[in-house]
Amino acid sequence: MSAGTNKLNVTVTEVVAVNELVKRFHFERTDGGNLPTFSGGAHVVVEMRDGDITRLNPYSLMSSPLSTRDYTISVRRDDVGRGGSLFMHNRVKRGMEMVISYPVNLFSLDLRAKKHLMIAGGIGITPFLAQTAQLASYGGNFELHYTCRSEALGSYSDVLRERYGNRVSLYLDERNERIPLERLLATQPLGTHIYVCGPAGMIKWVRDSAAAHGWPDDAVHYEHFAAPQPGTPFDVKLAVSGLEIRVGEQQSLLEAIEAAGVDPPYLCRGGVCGQCETNVISYDGTFKHNDHWLSDEEHCSGKKIMPCVSRFEGRSLVLER
């Protein structure tokens, strides 16, 4: 059991197809009443019980933090992923009871900012739906720049334009439009904070450009949940528990540890929060680090691994768990 893993029993009250790739799910408390309060940028971990497999995937809450009657999330279908999004799309129906975690926010607004500049790519729009609702409720100053493949796949671009008018700018790949990042970074008033959520390449582009323009790190916020990648199966020795386990091709190391009956700490399951950081006792092989938590030096040191998203290839791996 770990902090933030308190569970909520919820019922799916609505499933809406937003477009051909994205579905929206509404959850209410199964026992009635209000859900816990949250702030814009928070996510919940959704448990998906699929036969023998339990998947735990994080999704940003996109509903307004002003209403805790229900939580809503949007899930983009990934046909080549490990199956979490396909489970949500194909198996989750209205009326179904599910278990989700309490909300946790690793991408919160810095409310000391004089202005909030938001950059979204694709399904990375979801945390901004909650954040813009929160800011708009008290006249906060924000500007949202949203890039996606096509008009048809621009989830919620219509809703956002209707709510916030020209505070929202849309850029479509199909029209060869691109976020004018250089101009945006050069023309913001002092006290602006920038927030980016989208594909890894886009986050890197924004962070590198902001640093080159002299933006301090403290004013640059980003969130990228790395979904655990499938890979070659490997064996692990858990020294503290005295167990030897095998991590399957479609399983994450964290999931394999849990399947063996060990209950390690975790929070985001996406390589960003640092909760599941695990010491390596010995190894013979190569780490496949996929997290955004450990530093480059730590990745090279062979002393630590984030089991939620990272893997291993080689002869032996012994963890302090």
Residue 64: both structure tokens together: 């307004």
Q: Which is nearer to other proteins, 69 or 114 (CB)?
A: 114
Q: Which is nearer to other proteins, 117 or 129 (CB)?
A: 117
Say which DSSP state 219 is in. Answer: G
The burial class, CB within 10 Å (0-12 / 13-18 / 19+), for 91 is exposed
**Alpha carbon distance 240, 233 (integer Å):** 22
- HEC per residue, 15-28: EEECCCCEEEEEEE
The burial class, CB within 10 Å (0-12 / 13-18 / 19+), for 7 is exposed
Kindly state the smallest distance separating residue 182's Cβ from other proteins, in Å: 11
Kindly state the smallest distance separating residue 26's Cβ from other proteins, in Å: 38
Kindly state the smallest distance separating residue 142's Cβ from other proteins, in Å: 15
Which residues have C-beta within 8 Å of that of residue 281, sequence separation ≥ 6? 239, 318, 319, 320
Kindly state the smallest distance separating residue 194's Cβ from other proteins, in Å: 8
Q: For 5, how many CA atoms within 13 A lie in the half-sphere containing its CB? A: 15
Q: Which is nearer to other proteins, 159 or 186 (CB)?
A: 186
Question: What is the per-residue burial (b if ≥16 Cβ within 10 Å, else e) of 129-153?
Answer: bbbbbbbeeeebebbbbbbbeeeeb
Q: Which residues bind other proteins (CB under 8 A)?
A: 113-114, 185-192, 211-219
Distance of CA 285 to the CA centre of its chain: 29
DSSP 54-76: EEEEEEE--S-TT--S-EEEEEE
Q: Phi and psi for 320 in degrees, rounded to 5?
A: -85, 80
Kindly state the smallest distance separating residue 218's Cβ from other proteins, in Å: 5
Kindly state the smallest distance separating residue 109's Cβ from other proteins, in Å: 15
Q: Which is nearer to other proteins, 36 or 191 (CB)?
A: 191
Q: Which is nearer to other proteins, 182 or 249 (CB)?
A: 182
Q: Which is nearer to other proteins, 218 or 296 (CB)?
A: 218
Kindly state the smallest distance separating residue 192's Cβ from other proteins, in Å: 5
Q: Which is nearer to other proteins, 53 or 219 (CB)?
A: 219
